Chains A and B, each alone.
Chain A
Amino acid sequence: MHLDYRLNEDRETDWASVTEEDLRYRVALGNLIFRVGDKDFSATWEWIPLVDLAASFDDILRKLESGSRSETFEFTESDAWIRFEKKDGKVSVSTSYGEGVGEIPWSELAEATKSFRERLHSEIVRQHPHAAHNAAVRKLLGSAAARG
Chain B
Amino acid sequence: MNLRPLTVWFVAFGLLMTGGFGMGQTAQYAQVQSSAAQVVLTRWALQHIMARHWPDSPATGAGKFQAGITEATLRDMINEAVHNGRARQNTHGRPGTIYEYDFQRQIGTTIDGGPATRLRVVVNSRNEVVTAFPF
Contact = CB atoms under 8 A, between A and B. Distances in A.
A80 interface: yes
Nearest to B59: A47
Contact of B61 (A20, A25, A59, A80): A80
Interface of B is mostly: loop
Interface residues of A, number: 26
Contacts of B59: 45-47, 77
Contact of B111 (A52, A56, A80): A80
Nearest to A56: B92
A47 B135 CA distance: 17
Contact of A45 (B61, B93, B120, B130): B61
16 contacts: A21-B124, A24-B95, A25-B48, A25-B131, A43-B61, A44-B60, A45-B61, A47-B61, A52-B94, A55-B93, A56-B91, A59-B93, A73-B92, A77-B52, A77-B59, A78-B62
Interface of A: 20-21, 24-26, 43-47, 52, 55-56, 59-60, 71-80, 97
